[in-house]
Amino acid sequence: MEKVKELLYELRKEKEKGVYFVHSHENVNFASYYDLFRQGLWMKNYLYERGIRPKDEVIISMDNSEWFYITFWACILGDFIAVPLSVSNDELSKLSGALEICSNSVLVTDNESLWKEISDSDLSLKNSVFWDEEMTISLDEMFLEPVTEIDDFVLSKEESGLDIAYIQFSSGSTKDLKGVGITNQGIIINADNILSSRHIDGEEVFVTWIPSYHNFGLFFNIFLPIRHNCDAHIIDTQYVVKDPAFYLDYCNKVRGTVTSGTNFYLNFIIKLLQEKGVKDEWDFSSINSMFLGAEPISINLCNEFAKYMKECNFQRKVLSPSYGLTEGTLGVSVTTDDDCVKKISVNKESMSIGHTLEIVSDDDPMASEIISVGKPLPAFKLKIVDLDGNTLEDGSIGLIFIAGKCVLNNYYNRERDENFIDEWFNTGDIGFIYDGNLHITARYKEMFIYNGKNYYDNDIERYIHKLNIFTEERIVIHGYRKNVDDVNDNVICFIKGNTPVETLVSRIKSVLSHMNNLLGIYINDFVLVDNIPTTVSGKVQRYKLINNYIKGDYDEQIAVLAYEMDKANNIIECDVSSIEDFIADTLEDIVDNQIDYSGSFMSMGLNSLQIAKLHMAINIKYGDCIAIAELFEYTTIETLAEYIMERVNIRREMETLIG
What is the C-alpha separation between 23 and 236, in angstroms, rounded? Answer: 5
Beta pairing partners, 455: 448
What is the C-alpha separation between 101 and 410, in angstroms, rounded? Answer: 13
What is the C-alpha separation between 220 and 222, in angstroms, rounded? Answer: 6
According to DSSP, the β-strands at 231-235 and 18-22 are: parallel
Q: Give the pLDDT of residue 106.
A: 92
Amino acid in the structure at residue 291 = F
Give how far the C-alpha of residue 506 lies from the chain's centroid of Cα atoms, to the nearest Å: 32
Beta pairing partners, 399: 385, 430
Give how far the C-alpha of residue 634 lies from the chain's centroid of Cα atoms, to the nearest Å: 28
Residue 122 phi/psi, 5-degree rounding, is -105, 20
Residue 55 phi/psi, 5-degree rounding, is 80, -10
Q: Give the pLDDT of residue 284.
A: 96
What is the C-alpha separation between 104 and 51, in angstroms, rounded? Answer: 11
Q: Give the pLDDT of residue 452.
A: 67
Q: Determine the angle formed by the axes of helices 263-276 and 244-254, rounding to 10 degrees.
A: 90
In terms of CATH architecture, what is 323-443? Roll (2.30)
Helix (H) or strand (E) holding 308, with range, is helix 299-309
> pTM of whole model > 0.85?
no
379-383 contacts, C-beta under 8 A, 24 or more apart = 379/189, 379/190, 379/193, 379/404, 379/405, 379/406, 380/328, 380/332, 380/333, 380/404, 380/406, 380/407, 382/332, 382/333, 382/433, 382/438, 383/424
Q: Cα–Cα–Cα angle for 539, 544, 545, nearest 5°?
A: 95
Q: Using an 8 Å Cβ cutoff, are 179 and 169 in contact?
A: yes
The DSSP symbol for 51 reads T
- For 344, residues 6+ apart whose C-beta sits below 8 A from its C-beta are 359, 369, 370, 372, 434, 439
What is the C-alpha separation between 430 and 480, in angstroms, rounded? Answer: 12
Helix (H, G, I), strand (E, B) or coil at 507: helix
State which residues of the chain have pLDDT below 70. Answer: 1, 89-91, 143-162, 170-176, 443-445, 452, 454, 459, 484-485, 487, 518, 535-539, 566-573, 592-594, 602-603, 605, 608, 624, 629, 651-659
Helix (H) or strand (E) holding 271, with range, is helix 263-276
Helix (H, G, I), strand (E, B) or coil at 22: strand
What is the C-alpha end-to-end distance of the chain, expressed in Å?
75
Strand residue runs (E) in 273-410? 289-292, 319-324, 331-334, 343-347, 367-371, 375-376, 380-385, 398-404
In terms of CATH architecture, what is 447-568? 2-Layer Sandwich (3.30)
Burial class (CB in 10 A: 0-12, 13-18, 19+), 419: middle
Q: Give the pLDDT of residue 95.
A: 85
Q: Give the pLDDT of residue 57.
A: 96
**φ/ψ bin of 308: left (φ > 0), alpha (ψ from -120 to 50), beta (otherwise):** alpha
What is the C-alpha separation between 44 and 108, in angstroms, rounded? Answer: 12
SS3 track for 422-477 = CCEEEEEEEEEEECCEEEEEEECCCEEEECCEEEEHHHHHHHHHHCCCCCCCEEEE
What is the C-alpha separation between 320 and 297, in angstroms, rounded? Answer: 10
Q: Using an 8 Å Cβ cutoff, are 451 and 607 in contact?
A: no
64-112 residue pLDDT tens: 999 999 999 999 999 999 999 988 766 677 788 888 899 889 999 998 8
Domain ranges of the chain: 33-177, 323-443, 447-568, 570-658
Q: Give the pLDDT of residue 174.
A: 39
What is the C-alpha separation between 128 and 58, in angstroms, rounded? Answer: 9
CATH ID of 33-177, from 3.20.20.70, 3.40.50.980, 3.90.1200.10, 1.20.1290.10 = 3.40.50.980
CATH superfamily of 570-658: ACP-like (1.10.1200.10)
